[in-house]
Amino acid sequence: MNIDEQRIREFAFQIWESEGKPAGQAERHWMMACKLAEAEASGEKQLTPPAKPRRISKPKTVPLTEVEQPALLKKPRTPRSTATKNPKP
């Protein structure tokens, strides 16, 4: 058994295990393993490092006027009383 065939067997076994060890899928696993081994041998397996994530700046907010603010954000008003506390004489 040459090194390539051993590597294909290893790949096929890993695929079989990762899929939950299903029965009757040996040929499909072998074909997938062959493709992986070919890619590994030809150097296509080299992965490029992931792109650096861009920083997203916070959107500039403009303060809303009192009328534009939702009701939950408005300051509560003091309750109106029907009777005055200090009646004028």
Per the CB < 8 A criterion, the answer to whether 32 and 15 are in contact is: yes
Rounded Cα distance, 74 and 72, in Å: 6
0.75 exceeded by the pTM? no
Tell me what the pLDDT averaged over the chain comes to. Answer: 76
Rounded Cα distance, 45 and 43, in Å: 5
For the stretch 30-48, pLDDT in tens is: 999 999 988 888 775 455 6
Answer yes or no: is pLDDT of 75 > 70. no
Domain ranges of the chain: 3-42
Helix H or strand E encompassing 13: helix 3-18
Q: Report the range of poorest mean pLDDT among 12-21, 36-45, 57-66.
A: 57-66
